[in-house]
Chains A and B, each alone.
Chain A
Amino acid sequence: MKYIMLIYQGSALERQAALTPEEQKQVYADYQGINQMPGVTPMPPMGLAENATTVRVEGGKTLTTDGPFVGMKEAVGGLFILEADDIDAAIEVAARVPAARYGGAIEIRPSEVYW
Chain B
Amino acid sequence: MVTPLDEVFREEWGRVLATLIGVLGDFDLAEDAAQEAFAIAAGRWPRDGVPANPRAWLITTARNRATDRIRRDRALAAKAGLLVAASHVEVPMNTTTIPDERLELIFTCCHPALAIEAQVALTLRTLGGLTTDEIARAFLVPERTMAQRLVRAKRKIKAAGIPFRVPPDHLLRERLDAVLTVVYLIFNEGYGGREELATEAMWLGRALTELLPGDPEVRGLLAMMLLHDSRRETRFNDGELVLLGDQDPARWDTALIDRGRAELDRAIALGGRGPYVLQAAIASLHSETPCDWAQIAALYGELARLTASPVVELNRAIAVAEAEGPEAGLRIVDGLGLHDFRYLHSTRAELLRRLGRTDEARAAYRRARELTDDGAERRFLERRLTELAGATGADNDAPAPG
User: Which size bracket describes the interface of A in this complex?
Assistant: 10 to 19
Does the CB pair B161–A86 fall under 8 Å? yes
Find chain B residues with CB under 8 A from A1 CB: 161
Does the CB pair A110–B159 fall under 8 Å? yes
Distance of A87 Cα from B163 Cα, bound (Å): 7
- A100-115: contact bitstring with B at CB < 8 Å (1 yes, 0 no)? 0000000010101000
Q: Is B83 in the interface zone, CB < 8 Å from A?
A: no
Identify A85's interface contact among B111, B113, B163, B167, CB under 8 A: B163
Distance of A110 Cα from B159 Cα, bound (Å): 7
Q: Is A90 in the interface zone, CB < 8 Å from B?
A: yes
Distance of A90 Cα from B111 Cα, bound (Å): 14
- B17-59: contact bitstring with A at CB < 8 Å (1 yes, 0 no)? 0000000000000000000000000000000000000000000
Does the CB pair A88–B159 fall under 8 Å? no
Does the CB pair B159–A90 fall under 8 Å? no
Chain B: interface residue total (CB-CB under 8 A) = 9
Name the residue in A84, A110, A112 with the highest tally of chain B Cβ atoms < 10 Å from its Cβ: A110
Distance of A90 Cα from B112 Cα, bound (Å): 13
- B130-172: contact bitstring with A at CB < 8 Å (1 yes, 0 no)? 0000000000000000000000000000011111000100010
Find chain A residues with CB under 8 A from B167 CB: 88
Find chain A residues with CB under 8 A from B111 CB: 87
Chain A's nearest CB lies how many Å from the CB of B261?
Answer: 37
Nearest B residue to A88 by beta-carbon distance?
B163
Chain B's nearest CB lies how many Å from the CB of A86?
Answer: 4
Does the CB pair B159–A86 fall under 8 Å? no
Find chain A residues with CB under 8 A from B163 CB: 85-88
Distance of A65 Cα from B330 Cα, bound (Å): 59
Distance of A1 Cα from B158 Cα, bound (Å): 10
Find chain A residues with CB under 8 A from B162 CB: 86-87
Chain B's nearest CB lies how many Å from the CB of A33?
Answer: 19
- A49-92: contact bitstring with B at CB < 8 Å (1 yes, 0 no)? 00000000000000000000000000000000000111110110
Find chain A residues with CB under 8 A from B171 CB: 88
With A88-B167, A88-B171 in contact, is A112–B161 under 8 Å at CB?
A: no
Contacting A at CB under 8 A, from B111-135, are: 111, 113
Chain A's nearest CB lies how many Å from the CB of B248?
Answer: 50
Distance of A73 Cα from B204 Cα, bound (Å): 40
Nearest A residue to B156 by beta-carbon distance?
A110
With A87-B113, A88-B167, A88-B171 in contact, is A112–B159 under 8 Å at CB?
A: yes
Does the CB pair A108–B160 fall under 8 Å? yes
Distance of A110 Cα from B111 Cα, bound (Å): 16
Chain A's nearest CB lies how many Å from the CB of B178?
Answer: 13
Chain A's nearest CB lies how many Å from the CB of B83?
Answer: 12
Find chain B residues with CB under 8 A from A85 CB: 161, 163
**What are 25 contact pairs spanning A and B, CB under 8 A?**
A1-B161, A3-B161, A84-B161, A85-B161, A85-B163, A86-B161, A86-B162, A86-B163, A87-B111, A87-B113, A87-B160, A87-B161, A87-B162, A87-B163, A88-B163, A88-B167, A88-B171, A90-B161, A91-B113, A108-B113, A108-B160, A110-B159, A110-B160, A110-B161, A112-B159
- Interface residues of B, Cβ cutoff 8 Å to A: 111, 113, 159-163, 167, 171
In the A-B complex, the 5 residue pairs with the smallest Cβ-Cβ separation, listed nearest first, are: A1-B161, A86-B163, A86-B161, A87-B161, A110-B160
> What 5 new A-B contacts, CB under 8 Å, besides A88-B167, A110-B160, A112-B159?
A85-B161, A86-B161, A87-B163, A108-B113, A110-B161
